Every structure is written in C-alpha cells, then in structure tokens.
Amino acid sequence: MTGTSPGSALILGVGSARGLGAAAARSFAAAGYRIVIAGRDPEKLQQAAHSIIAPGSAPQVQVGDVTVAADVARFVASAEALAPLSVAIHNAGGNRPSPFLQTDAGSFEEHWRAHAFGAFLLAQAALPAMLQRRSGTLIFTGASASLRGRANFAPFAAAKGALRMLAQSLAREFGPKGIHVAHVIIDGVIDGDRARTFIKDADERSGKDGMLHPDQIAETYLMLHRQQRSAWTQELDLRPWSEAF
C-alpha cells in the first residue's frame, strides 16, 4: 500500500471468508483502509483474515462479543489505534426461525441483543471520536424483516425493526454533525456458507445470480461511505434481480 491511509474500517460480525462481513473488509482493504474485523469465532476470523490481506496491509483480528460493551469499546479503540476510524459496520446477528409459541424469551432477547443492542453499543463507542472530527460513517446491515414480519420470524423481525429505527434516529441526530448513518436492507438470501448450509439445493432454487453476492453488497457499502455529504443515502435496499418483492 502506498500513500496515506484514508483511515480505518471496523467490521463487526465477521464469520466465514464467504460472508458479508469478510466481503466488506476486503472491499475497504482494497480501497486502502486499515481493517479491524471482529467476531466470536477465532478460527473463522482467521480464515476471513486470510481472504482480506491486501498489498502491504493485513487486517487486525479482534475476538469478542458485540453485545458486551467492553468488547465493543475494545474493537473501536483498536481501530482508532491503527488510523482514525472512518467507517464502522454492524453486520452481526443471525436468525433462528421458529413458531411463535415455541419461541422462548431467551431466543427473543438473544436476537434483540445481537442486532439492535449490539448496534447501539457500536454507535456509542464509535461516535465520540467521529464527532470530534465531524466525519465518519456508520453502516447497519438490515434485512427484509426490517420492513415486514413473516410468520415464525417474530424475534428476528422485532430485532431488525428496532435496528432500523435506531439507524433513523442516529441519522437525524448526527447527520447534521457530519456523521453519515446508513441502513441497508438485504432483501434476499446472501450467497454464503450460512445459506448453503441450510439450503442444500440453493443453486437450483435460486438460479443464476438469484442470491446476493457478498462482494457486490460490499461494493455498495464502500459507495455509501464515499458519498459526498450533499447527497447522502440514509436507507437503500438490495435484492437479486429475480427476487419477488
């Protein structure tokens, strides 16, 4: 890497090398950003790190829990130590569909903590330094459930709806202070290890380009961060060309 780094990029919720978190890290690394990736699984983080390495720069790996304030503060501090934090991406949280009357309170709270509370912690940790510089971007990964709740998806939909409202509130409060807050609705299945584990006939069911390619989503994240402030996007949706909506 040559020249001055444009800053650091922190990506929370990085799993396998084929996931969206790793893809976002690759996109920002290729653009010259110093990278910190964070997640709970050390082995998967290392696999992701190997896919991210760009000329002259390897990502820093941080193991921890996005729902623990001390861990999130550590993630942010590690990014700031590399270079001023330019962009923080919240991509954490999964989904375990189940009939509502078979869903226990622990599952409901777990979804909320990973998606909504984790995003709250990231914003609280990242914003102070960004506000001092009057620049920075927060990007939150949403889903179809951000807009509508499906049967058997009550915990996930409640959590993603809360995340969307958090992003809107942050955008209205901190946009005028120079912070770009964007919420991205992923309306479809991401073509990664998680989907292919649960959808055995994914290619046959989806067809060519019928799932969202993580690297293409990541390019959109980079575009959002690079937007000039006279024309910021607060929310956009992404879906495969063949997805019904």
CATH classification code of 8-238? 3.40.50.720
**Residues paired with 8 in a beta bridge:** 34, 85
**Residues paired with 37 in a beta bridge:** 11, 61
Q: Nearest Cα to 91, choosing from 144, 149, 22?
A: 22
Torsion of CA 155, 146, 8, 83, to 10 degrees: -70
Is the pLDDT confidence value at 1 over 90?
no
Phi and psi at residue 43, in whole multiples of 5°?
-65, -45
Q: How far apart are CA 192 and CA 17, in angstroms?
A: 9
- Residue-wise DSSP of 194-205: HHHHH-TTHHHH
Structure tokens at 140: 């939150």
Pairing status of strand 8-12 against strand 85-90: parallel
Q: Are 41 and 53 in contact (CB under 8 A)?
A: no
User: Quick count: other Cβ atoms within 10 Å of Cβ 162?
Assistant: 18
Q: What are the tens digits of pLDDT across the range 75-109?
A: 999 999 999 999 999 999 999 999 999 999 999 99
| pTM (predicted TM-score) | 0.94
Mean of the pLDDT values across residues 42-64? 91
Domain residue ranges in the chain: 8-238
Q: How far apart are CA 123 and CA 87, in angstroms?
A: 11
Q: What are the tens digits of pLDDT across the range 115-139?
A: 999 999 999 999 999 999 999 999 9
The reported pLDDT for the residue numbered 196 is: 67
Q: Nearest Cα to 87, choosing from 182, 216, 189, 160?
A: 182
